[in-house]
Structure 1
């Protein structure tokens, strides 16, 4: 069963489920939310802080990114907590070359870069993500 909230996703990761699988399942659930209000509820509850500082920062970035990208009206207040930021840069690719580091520094969305997380331009894209409004099918 997919996590219905970001807080639930963090709980599952803390229980030992693979981060990439749980986050993908949460994003799928989020994208299938029936309304903006329902999607906002999915990120509204603050996930418990973990011993994993990267996870703490990552979920803050995810919640802020989703709220802004999907225009949910507001960003949950908990994402601004200093514990949701990293002291040292984290490049999310394995063994990034200097060129890849430069690219990720440039391409990372502000919600991630402001937390010292450097990742690809569209970090949460999924095959079943929301369709652009200009697309007619």
Structure 2
């Protein structure tokens, strides 16, 4: 079942769902929202802090990034809380070489880099196929 909010996605991760699965499902929910207000509602509720500093910071980065990239007009206040930042850098690429770390340092969106999270240039992009609104192929 796809989470309706970022808070639900983080709760699903806490219950054992893989990060990439829960966050991808949330991004789909966000992208399928029909209005700017409906999109904002998916990030408005603060996700519970998890005691995983990376996940807590990532939630803040995702909320701010989506709000700014999709021009929602505001970012939830919770996203800039002190627990939404990392003390040490996190390079999201597994076993990143020095060259990859340098690339990620300069390519990471500000919403991530400001929290000490270094990731790809377009971190929440999703592959899209030829699907109609019901999610079925058009052929």
TM-score, normalised to structure 1, is 0.92
**Structure 1 residues 100-111: aligned runs within 5 Å:** 100-111=100-111
1:92 Cα deviation (Å)?
A: 0.1
Unaligned runs of 5+ in 1: 130-137
| Structure of higher RCO (CA pairs closer than 8 Å, 6+ residues apart) | 1
Q: Which runs of 4+ in 1 moved over 3 A?
A: none
Give aligned pairs, total. 129
Unaligned runs of 5+ in 2: 130-139
**Structure 1 residues 1-137: aligned runs within 5 Å:** 1-128=1-128
Measured in 2, the distance between the counterparts of 1:12 and 1:33 equals 20
RMSD value, Cα: 1.0
TM-score, normalised to structure 2, is 0.91
Measured in 2, the distance between the counterparts of 1:84 and 1:72 equals 20
Measured in 2, the distance between the counterparts of 1:72 and 1:112 equals 18
Measured in 1, the distance between the counterparts of 2:92 and 2:33 equals 27
